[in-house]
Amino acid sequence: MCFRGPSVSYGDVAIKTSASQEVRRLIADLTSTSPIDTKREAAVARLAVIGTRAVRQLVDALGSASTSEARVAILAALEAIPDARAIDPILVGLASDNSAVRLAAARAARGLLPLAQGTTVLDRLTAIAIDRSQPGELRALAVEALATLPTRTIRPVLDRLKDDSSPDVRAAVLRQGAVTEDPVADLEEASDGWLPRDPHALLQLVARAAGDAPLSTLHRLIERVRSKESEGRKNQRKDWLAVRGALHLALARRGSRVALYDLRESLERAEEPLPADFLQALARIGDPASLEPVAAAFVQSAAMPDAEAWRRGVADTFQAIVTRERITPRHAAMRRVKSRFREHVEPLVRSRPQGRP
C-alpha cells in the first residue's frame, strides 16, 4: 500500500523557484574568496537540509569551479548529501592533482558506497587503499570509507593492510575496529564509557560482535551513544545516530525489548528521517504501545522535505506491528491513535484484514 502526503498546490512552482535561488546563493557562499570559514560551514549545513534538490546545481558548480578551495567546499556539501549524480564528479576529484581536493573527494565518497550505483566508488577506494604510491593520508581516508561496509565485504583488504608500511594506514585500520582480539570485550569496554572517537569504529564492532554480546551491554551502549549525539558537528551526530540504530536492530534481531522505550521515543521525537534500522527494529519488536509514537512520526513526516521514502517506511512499520500483534480497530491502542491524530492518520488506521501480512 502506498501512502501519500497532503496534495500539493500550484504554489509549489514558486517554492521550487525560491529553493533554486537559495541554492545558488549558498553555492556563492561556498565558493566565495572570503576567508570566513563559518559562512561556508553554515552554507554546507543549509545545503544538507535542502538535500537532493541541491545536488544538480552543486555538481554543475563543481565542474565549473576555478579554484581548488571552491572544489573542496563544494565536495564538503556533497559529502552531506549522498546522491548517485555525484559519483562521476567525485571520482574525478579522487584523481585530482590537488591533494586537498583528493582528500575532500575521499570524504565525500564514503556516503556513496551504500548506493546501488556505488560499485565503481568501492573499486576506486579499494585501489587507493592498497596503492602504496598514494599519500598515506588519502589511503587512510579510503580505509575509513571502506570500513563502513559489512566486515565480510572488506575483510580481505583490511587484513592485507593491518601490517602496511604506512603508519597512517595502520592507524586507520585499527581505528575502525577491524583488528581486535576480542570484539565482544571491546563492546563491553565501550559500554562502560570508553567509546571510540570515531563512530564508524563502533559501528564496525557492533556489526561484528552484537550477536554475541550480552543484551545488557547493548542496552548500556545505546544510552552511551545517545549522549554522544548531542555533541559535535551535525554530520557526526548523524553518524552516532546510525550506531544507535544498529544497536536497536541488533537487540530486535535477538527478540529483546529492553530498549523499546528509547526506540519509541526516538520515533515520536524525530524531526527528520531516522536511519532505516530504527524502523526495522520497531517492525520486529514493536508492541501495541508503539503505535502511537509511530503514528506521531507519520504525521510529522508530512512537514519534512524529501521524506516520502521515510513516510512510506513509517506506514509499513505501523502495519507490521498491527499485523503481528493482531490489533483490531477496536483495540485500545488503535482507538488512542484515532483520538489523538484523527484524519491525519486515516491511511494508517484504515481497516484491513488481520492475520498474516
Q: Give the pLDDT band (50/70/90) at residue 159.
A: confident
Query: How do residues 271-303 score in pLDDT, each as one tens digit?
Result: 899 999 999 999 999 999 999 999 999 989 888
Contact 283, 317 (CB under 8 A): yes
Residue 133: CB partners within 8 Å, gap ≥ 6? none
How confident is the model over 252-261, as pLDDT tens digits? 999 999 999 9
Residue 137 grid coordinates: 593520508
Give the C-alpha distances (Å, rounded to integers) separating 51 from 7, 19, 74, 152: 21, 11, 13, 31
What is the reported pTM?
0.53
d(CA 94, CA 147): 18
